[in-house]
C-alpha cells in the first residue's frame, strides 16, 4: 500500500498512538456489523434489543439475540487486523487501544489493557442484585437465565443505549485522545456517542486523525487521511511500515 506522505512523516515522529475500533474490525472474522446492509440492526430494532426497556419488555427475545451472538463469537477467531494491532502495541512506547466492540477478539489476538467502552458479551451480571457471573456459564442455557443468589434476571455486561458508559473507560479514552500524536478510527460508522466524539477530541488536541474503513462515514471529511481499505488488509501493512521506521 502506498501511504500518504504526511501519514508516513507523522508515523516516523509519533510517540503516542491511539486506535479506536468498531464492529468493522471484526467483520473479517465473520461477525456481522450493526449498520451495514447485512448488519445486525438490519434485522432487529436496536432500541428494542440493546436497551434496558427492551430487555425488561422482551427479556426472552433479547436473550435469544445475545445467545445467538455469543455462539457466533465463540466460533470465530481474531483476523489479521486484530493480530497486527496487537503487534503494533508492542512496538509503540505509548499506545492505547479503545474499542466499542463487545466480542473480546482484540484480547484473544493478544492486545492488552483494552479500553472497552461498551462492555463485553462474555460476562454477565444480575440485573437485580448485581452479582457477577464470569464467562457464559450454563446459566445461559435457560431461556431466561436466573440469578442463583436472588432469583433475579441476569443480563449481559454490555452498555445499552441510554446507559452511561463505564466512567473509568470513557475517562481513559478521552485522555488517550488528548495525548495522541496519531489517532486511528477503524471500522466504525462513528454514529454512536460519546465514542464518536473521541476522534474530534483527538484532532482538536493536535492529533493526525486517520480513518481505516472501506466506506465513507459521518466523520470522513474531518479526517487528515482516509485509508479506504478493510482493517485486515490495511493493518498488516501499517505494521510493516511502522517496523521500517524503528
- Please list, residue by residue across 18-55, b when 16 or more beta carbons sit within 10 angstroms of its beta carbon and e when fewer do: bbbbbbbbbbbbebbbbbeeeebeeebeeeebbbeebb
In the DSSP assignment, the letter for residue 146 is B
- 39 near ligand BV8, judged by CB under 6 A: yes
Q: How far is CA 68 from the centre of its chain?
A: 19
CA distance 237 to 239: 5
- 160 near ligand BV8, judged by CB under 6 A: yes
Interacting positions 208-237 with ligand BV8 (CB under 6 A): 213-215, 217, 230-231
Angle subtended at Cα 129 by Cα 126 and Cα 131, rounded to the nearest 5 degrees:
55
Among residues 30, 130, 151, 194, which is the contact residue for ligand BV8, using CB under 6 A? 194
Query: What residue is closest to ligand BV8 based on CB?
Result: 24
CA distance 198 to 102: 18
CA distance 197 to 216: 17
Residue 33 binding result from Zn ion, ligand BV8, none, given CB thresholds of 5 to 8 Å by partner type: ligand BV8
Interacting positions 45-84 with ligand BV8 (CB under 6 A): 50
Nearer to ligand BV8, 69 or 94 (CB): 69
Interacting positions 139-198 with Zn ion (CB under 5 A): 147, 149-150, 152
Instruction: Please identify every residue annotated as catalytic.
Output: 118
**Residues near ligand BV8 (CB under 6 A):** 22-24, 27-28, 33-36, 39, 50, 100-102, 118, 158-165, 187-189, 191-194, 213-215, 217, 230-231
Which residues bind to Zn ion, rule: CB under 5 A?
126, 128-129, 131, 147, 149-150, 152
Amino acid at each position: 500500500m502506498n501511504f500518504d506522505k504526511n501519514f508516513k512523516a507523522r508515523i516516523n515522529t509519533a510517540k503516542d498512538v491511539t486506535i479506536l475500533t468498531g464492529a468493522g474490525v471484526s467483520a473479517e472474522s465473520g461477525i456481522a456489523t450493526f449498520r451495514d446492509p447485512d448488519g445486525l440492526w438490519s434485522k432487529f430494532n436496536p432500541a428494542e434489543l440493546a436497551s434496558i426497556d427492551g430487555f425488561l419488555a422482551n427479556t426472552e427475545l433479547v436473550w435469544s439475540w445475545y445467545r445467538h451472538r455469543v455462539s457466533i463469537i465463540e466460533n470465530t477467531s481474531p483476523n489479521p487486523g486484530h493480530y497486527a494491532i496487537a503487534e503494533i502495541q508492542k512496538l509503540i512506547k505509548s499506545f492505547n487501544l479503545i474499542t466499542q466492540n463487545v466480542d473480546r477478539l482484540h484480547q484473544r489476538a493478544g492486545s492488552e489493557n483494552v479500553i472497552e467502552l461498551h462492555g463485553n458479551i462474555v460476562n454477565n451480571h444480575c440485573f437485580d442484585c448485581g452479582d457477577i457471573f464470569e464467562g457464559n456459564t450454563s446459566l445461559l442455557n435457560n431461556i431466561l437465565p436466573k440469578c442463583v443468589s436472588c432469583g433475579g434476571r441476569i443480563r449481559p455486561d454490555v452498555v445499552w443505549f441510554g446507559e452511561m458508559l463505564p466512567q473509568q473507560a470513557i475517562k481513559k479514552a478521552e485522555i488517550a485522545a488528548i495525548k495522541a500524536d496519531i489517532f486511528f478510527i477503524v471500522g466504525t460508522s462513528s454514529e454512536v456517542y460519546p465514542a464518536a466524539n473521541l476522534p474530534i477530541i483527538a484532532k482538536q488536541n493536535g492529533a493526525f486523525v486517520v480513518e481505516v474503513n472501506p466506506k465513507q462515514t459521518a466523520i470522513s471529511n474531518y479526517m487528515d487521511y482516509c485509508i479506504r481499505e478493510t482493517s485486515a488488509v490495511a493493518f498488516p501493512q501499517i505494521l510493516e511500515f511502522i517496523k521500517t521506521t524503528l
